[in-house]
Structure 1
């Protein structure tokens, strides 16, 4: 195992550590809530009552906003820890940078869902609520993770051009047909649409990479 670890590139190590940090954030407090007549209570994402209620709330909220009543979208919350674990193992065995991006997307989805969940009136009589360190750190790490992955993809565009091309086509198709789906396919279209800002960023990084390598040669 030590020999294998020494052979890992810097990018793989960074993405393994990033996934591990995201996984550890699940156990940190995501919110501190003061209910009427009670002391403050902290909730982590492993709290069974919390995740169960969030699970149902996500489904109801997405269904109300989109009308996509064919799939319980609360299941998407569980992609967060599952993809973190898969990414740690995968990056240790083989380098797949785009998997790290989708791991960060899953964790960002959990952060956004948790934030709006705590801001809703779902929890009843609340006198005070504060976002916990777990939610804040997960949001920051997710954003930095996405930026790092797309910086790497853009800088090494010659190596990852197939994925960049697939992501571009996925993004374009999603923008065209997004309003034509009302089911789980719609989620894939939304995910495809989310590639847009990162593709633009990767293009800027790739341009810098091109001029740097051209000057060096």
Structure 2
């Protein structure tokens, strides 16, 4: 295969990959970052995918069929998305590290200009859930979000995070118990029950 044919094949594979992963990656990033940052990181993620297109799992990896007589099949989301989520996660972490100081300054300025909320009515419907998620460790929160929002199985979450499937299952089980306990306490408080200072008598 000539260099030009190889380039065309890589371009065709990237275009097929982009059709499958752009929207899920955009949703993944929007759930973890503001719209502007999500757009920037999505662009960076797609650039990395283009540069590493030969490393992306799925059809077209390894020895290639003839691009005319044997075109690659479209990639399966189950094959490529966990790997691509891992790339997006790394790009987002890099962007946050690079932009951390500026973001912290902006957050401090915003806090000084905003008044604290006056009551529960100011909270969104999902404020308790977001607060409970925020109480988890960063990795546990990521595992829960990948499971609940991206609907990944533990083995796929393991591929995104670099953990083993068993470690993901354990973290997911413990995190769901913590979330249930915290949300249960919030429901009890809202219904008028006071929390005990020590161990519950019930």
**Does the alignment reach a TM-score above 0.5?**
no
More helix by share: 1
Task: Pick the structure with greater CA Rg.
Answer: 2
* TM-score normalised by length of structure 1: 0.28
